[in-house]
């Protein structure tokens, strides 16, 4: 598959995980493949590569050191291959501008991640202060008292645990989580 830039697409990775860190299966698979001089990595947006500025810049430098070119579609200057240009003033200026834009976009992504985390912490703290925190999170599978009533039949041996799960419409992990909570309270 070739496009406007005459680049042969050998592999495509669609990373569905957050760019908060680089321990992502698709990213690691791509990193194992893109390690030869002349390889090209195309990223739609820099914050999809990474959101931590220092880590993102380290990753970009890692590829530069290998001779792997990175093209970031939202940064048009990264689409131009400056390595084939004479080292005249214009090409050095364009390469510098490209590096500054990459640094700027990495800074924006990092700042956005920090703001989002701060707002999330503030929101949780505020909800806890108002006593609303228990309303959020995973909804309960069933009412605990209903579980206790049904589980007493399991304790008496008149109903098997699997039958109780089926009657209550519970998954196995939920059933045993409720059982553990019941035994702790009974305890």
Confidence check: pLDDT of 20 > 80? no
Instruction: Tell me how far the alpha carbon of residue 33 is from its chain's centroid.
Output: 21
Q: Is-above-0.85 flag for pTM? A: no
pLDDT in the model for residue 2: 40
**Which range scores top for mean pLDDT: 5-19, 89-103, 132-146?**
89-103
Ramachandran sector of residue 173 (left: φ over 0; alpha: ψ -120 to 50; beta: rest): alpha
Listed in order, strand segments (DSSP E) in the chain are 40-43, 69-72
Residue 143: pLDDT over 50: yes
* Cα–Cα dist 158/180, whole Å: 20
Return the structure tokens found at 35.
Answer: 């390690």
Distance CA 70, CA 57 (A): 12
The answer to whether residues 37 and 68 touch, using CB atoms and an 8 Å cutoff, is yes
Largest Cα–Cα distance in the chain?
87
**In DSSP terms, which residues pair with 71 in a beta bridge?**
42
* CA-based R_g, the chain, Å: 27
Under DSSP, the state recorded for 87 is S
- What's the rounded Cα separation, in Å, for the pair 117 and 54? 17
Instruction: Report DSSP letters for 45-83, one per residue.
Output: -HHHH-SSHHHHHHHHHHHHHHT-EEEETTSGGGGS-GG
Bridge partners for 41 per DSSP: 70
What's the chain's average pLDDT?
Answer: 88
The answer to whether 27 and 33 have CB atoms below 8 angstroms apart is no
- For residue 3, the model assigns a pLDDT of 44
How remote is the C-alpha of 94 from its chain's centroid?
Answer: 32
Domains and CATH numbers, the chain: 1-137 (3.40.50.1390), 144-186 (no CATH)
């Amino acid at each position: 598959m070739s496009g406007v830039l005459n680049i042969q697409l050998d592999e495509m990775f669609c990373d569905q995980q957050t760019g908060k860190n680089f321990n992502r299966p698709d990213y690691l698979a791509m990193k194992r493949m893109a390690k030869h001089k002349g390889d090209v990595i195309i990223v739609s947006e820099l914050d999809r590569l990474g959101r931590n500025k220092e880590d993102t810049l380290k990753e970009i430098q890692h590829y530069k050191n290998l001779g792997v070119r990175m093209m970031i579609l939202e940064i048009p200057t990264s689409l131009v291959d400056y390595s084939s240009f004479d080292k005249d003033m214009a090409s050095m200026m364009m390469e510098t501008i490209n590096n500054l834009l990459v640094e700027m976009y990495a800074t924006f992504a990092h700042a956005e991640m920090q703001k989002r985390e701060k707002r999330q912490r503030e929101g949780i703290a505020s909800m806890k202060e108002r006593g609303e925190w228990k309303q959020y999170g995973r909804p309960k599978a069933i009412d605990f008292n209903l579980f206790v009533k049904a589980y007493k039949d399991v304790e008496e041996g008149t109903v098997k645990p699997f039958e109780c799960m089926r009657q209550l419409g519970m998954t196995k992990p939920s059933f045993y989580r409720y059982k553990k909570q019941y035994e702790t309270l009974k305890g």
